[in-house]
Structure 1
């Protein structure tokens, strides 16, 4: 059944090239995940805060490597795009110390929209890692690739994520009531969005 409107992004807009390394403010890089990152993924999803807001855990490195493989494959299926947020150890270091993750999920090129998600490891929190990573990802997705709309959703109880959204130009659009189950029950969720052409705050 054909669409009545042209695709916002043509097929292959992402998959026809390798996933790029993106530059964020203050020397951070966003790079594709590597199988060698599995121990970091296990550590991240063992953190109680990440488990609470992201609702999953990784039980061992084999499972984490499977996730990383799925994240890498999603780029070529054009269903998602996932980056490790790293701090390089030198000017030519493209591997770096992993500080967190930022991604586009629920990616729909046909409609030109996707949802941003992110987490930061406990040792790197409070340093502005998430706003810098989300800002870099949003600029790339909206200005370089041509997405029209990026959404960002978080529990109304997650004040830190609300601050990230505000700092990175994602306007609050409303509240989805009892939208997502967490380990302590269903939470109302804030819906933020940033459109191509919107100004960024951070």
Structure 2
């Protein structure tokens, strides 16, 4: 298996009225937004992070870990703000291109949106932008997206972002706020050769 050796910097992507850029673990605003997202009841209903984020110190450590993963080429975690809102902008959400396997050209994508930014297609627009970058700039062949069965909002985001459903993975995700029980995951995926979804032009 090819070992990733190059250092990597999170790029800045501007399109569809959004800016995607790097989280800053030394920014109080970034750390506070990261913590607030992880404490949001809707986030906690559908996600159980590998490591808990329950206070500012854990939020900062989590962001530092994501910066290290980006530098090693393992994943790229984007901060989502509105384009043209200044260098740091108002944080709307997050989208990550995770578990990057450069040998097979595969990665997994995940996202969340802060409560006040929901209903504005932030997740769909972020997904389209991150996927376009991953295929054209990082040379990926396949991106996978998994969400807990029953999470209909995430299912719609995936479909509108050009990630059709491929099946169900049994017991592939922890139950909400538990690490001793599992639930099924709805798997979606998109290939580099798939056409750009119509949503991208909307």
Q: TM-score, normalising length from structure 1?
A: 0.87
- Tell me how far apart the structure 2 counterparts of residues 17 and 69 of structure 1 sit (CA, whole Å): 14
Residue 163 of structure 1: aligned partner: 156
Residue 30 of structure 1: aligned partner: 20
1:178: how far off? 2.7
Q: Which moved more, 1:184-193 or 1:42-51?
A: 184-193
Deviations 1:125-170 (A, max 9, x none): 1110000001000000012221010000011200001001100111
1:17: how far off? 4.5
1:77: how far off? 1.2
Deviations 1:51-75 (A, max 9, x none): 1212144221111111111111111
Quick one: which of 191, 198, 201 aligns to 1:195? 191
2:4–2:72 Cα contact (<8 Å) kept: no
1:154–1:189 Cα contact (<8 Å) kept: yes
Residue 21 of structure 1: aligned partner: 12
- Tell me how far apart the structure 1 counterparts of residues 196 and 46 of structure 2 sit (CA, whole Å): 25
Quick one: which of 70, 75, 80 aligns to 1:85? 80
Provide structure 1 residue ranges, at least 5 long, that are not aligned to the other structure. Answer: none
Number of residue equivalences: 190
Runs (4 or more) in structure 1 with deviation over 3 Å come to none
- Tell me how far apart the structure 1 counterparts of residues 192 and 54 of structure 2 sit (CA, whole Å): 39
2:10–2:78 Cα contact (<8 Å) kept: no
Q: Does 1:131 align with 2:124?
A: yes
Where do residues 101-116 of structure 1 align in structure 2 (5 Å cutoff)?
101-116=94-109
- Tell me how far apart the structure 2 counterparts of residues 89 and 97 of structure 1 sit (CA, whole Å): 10
What SS does structure 2 have at the residue aligned with 1:79? Answer: coil
Q: CA RMSD in A?
A: 1.8
1:11: how far off? 3.7
1:24–1:135 Cα contact (<8 Å) kept: no
Provide structure 2 residue ranges, at least 5 long, that are not aligned to the other structure. Answer: none
- Tell me how far apart the structure 1 counterparts of residues 95 and 115 of structure 2 sit (CA, whole Å): 15
- Tell me how far apart the structure 2 counterparts of residues 100 and 66 of structure 1 sit (CA, whole Å): 18
2:15–2:83 Cα contact (<8 Å) kept: no
- Tell me how far apart the structure 2 counterparts of residues 100 and 74 of structure 1 sit (CA, whole Å): 19
- Tell me how far apart the structure 2 counterparts of residues 74 and 11 of structure 1 sit (CA, whole Å): 11
- Tell me how far apart the structure 1 counterparts of residues 80 and 158 of structure 2 sit (CA, whole Å): 17
